[in-house]
Amino acid sequence: MNLEFAAIHYRAIRDRIRTIDPEIDEQTLADTVEGLTDIHEIIQAIVRSALVDQALASGLKCRIADMQDRLDRLEDRVSKRRQIAKDVMVELDLKKLTAPDFTVSIRPGAPTLMVIDEDAVPKSYWEPGEPRLRRQLLVHDLKQGEEVAGVALSEPQPFLSVRTR
């Protein structure tokens, strides 16, 4: 509201001065109108506010990057700790462990696709366009007992299942 009113006021004063003195030079006109209105102060306040917002945004970007690094470290720690628990349970042949707040068990995993030689994989397993392996189709056919050159299924690896109550 203030900006709109100040802009209208600025134009009105500028136009009136030009009407009274049509030969006034632009610098004198600008200095005169600036002294009679507060449009410059309003624009300066808007720009200062934008600069403050920009500084806050930059600070937040840094903070978000720091927090993302922290999140990555925490997720890595979760993965490593779960791996330790799984390895110990598999080594000791513990299938299930029940605690008051969670239950952890070792479940059999599914075999995963191992591409041994991409060049040996038949063309029917490649998507048209930019060559991309149709992994789901390969896994399906291998599980059905088909022999496909260049690929194999890995041995199933057990995985850790954690249920919280």
The neighbouring-strand residues paired with 133 are 126
Tell me if the pTM is above 0.75. no
User: What tokens were used for 100?
Assistant: 């008051």
More confident residue, 160 or 70: 70
3-state secondary structure of 164: strand
Give CA–CA dist 78/80, Å, rounded.
6
| Band of residue 69 on the pLDDT scale cut at 50, 70, 90 | very high
pLDDT digits (tens, 9 = 90+) for 4-55: 878 888 888 888 888 888 888 888 888 888 887 777 787 888 889 899 999 9
More confident residue, 74 or 143: 74
Domain boundary assignment for the chain: 2-86, 95-164
| pLDDT the model gives residue 89 | 94
What was the pLDDT predicted at 1?
64
pLDDT digits (tens, 9 = 90+) for 73-127: 999 999 999 999 999 999 999 999 999 999 999 998 888 888 998 889 888 888 8
CA atoms within 13 A on the CB side of 49: 6
- pLDDT value at residue 35: 81
User: Are 153 and 143 spatial neighbours (Cβ–Cβ below 8 Å)?
Assistant: yes
CB 164 within 8 A of CB 104: no
